[in-house]
A and B are shown apart, each in its own frame.
Chain A
Amino acid sequence: MLAESLFFSAVLFTIGVVGVLTRRNAIIVFMCVELMLNAVNLTFVAFAQVYGAAGQVFVFFVMTVAAAEAAVGLAIIIALFRHRQTVDLSNINLLKG
Chain B
Amino acid sequence: MSNDGLPLIYVFHFYLFGIIAVASALAFVTRKSPVAAVLWLVNTMFSLAAMYVLLDAHFIGAIQVLVYAGAIMVVFLFVIMLLNLGDASSEGDARGMGWKLAAGLVGLALLAQVFALTRVRVPEALALPHNALADEVAATGAIAPIAGPLFREYLLAFEMTSVLLLAAVVGAVVLGKRRERTHAR
Q: In the complex, which residue of chain A has the Cβ closest to the Cβ of B169?
A: A71
| Contact residues in A for B22 (Cβ distance below 8 Å) | 8, 11-12, 15
Task: Report yes or no: B60 in contact with A60, Cβ–Cβ below 8 A.
Answer: yes
Q: Which residues of B contact A (CB under 8 A)?
A: 1, 3, 6, 11, 14-15, 18, 21-22, 25-26, 28-29, 34, 37-38, 41, 44-45, 48, 51-52, 54-57, 59-60, 63-64, 67-68, 71-72, 75-76, 79-80, 82-83, 85, 90-95, 99-100, 102-104, 106-107, 110-111, 114-115, 118, 122, 126-128, 133, 136, 145-146, 148-150, 153-154, 157, 161, 164-165, 167-169, 171-173, 175-176, 178
Q: How many A residues touch B, CB cutoff 8 Å?
A: 69
| Contact residues in B for A70 (Cβ distance below 8 Å) | 72, 75-76
For the residues of A in contact with B, the DSSP-based class is helix
Task: Report yes or no: A1 in contact with B94, Cβ–Cβ below 8 A.
Answer: no
Q: In the complex, which residue of chain A has the Cβ closest to the Cβ of B176?
A: A75
| Contact residues in B for A49 (Cβ distance below 8 Å) | 55-57, 133
A10 in contact with B136 given A87-B91, A88-B91 (CB within 8 Å)? no
A66 in contact with B55 given A35-B28, A56-B60 (CB within 8 Å)? no
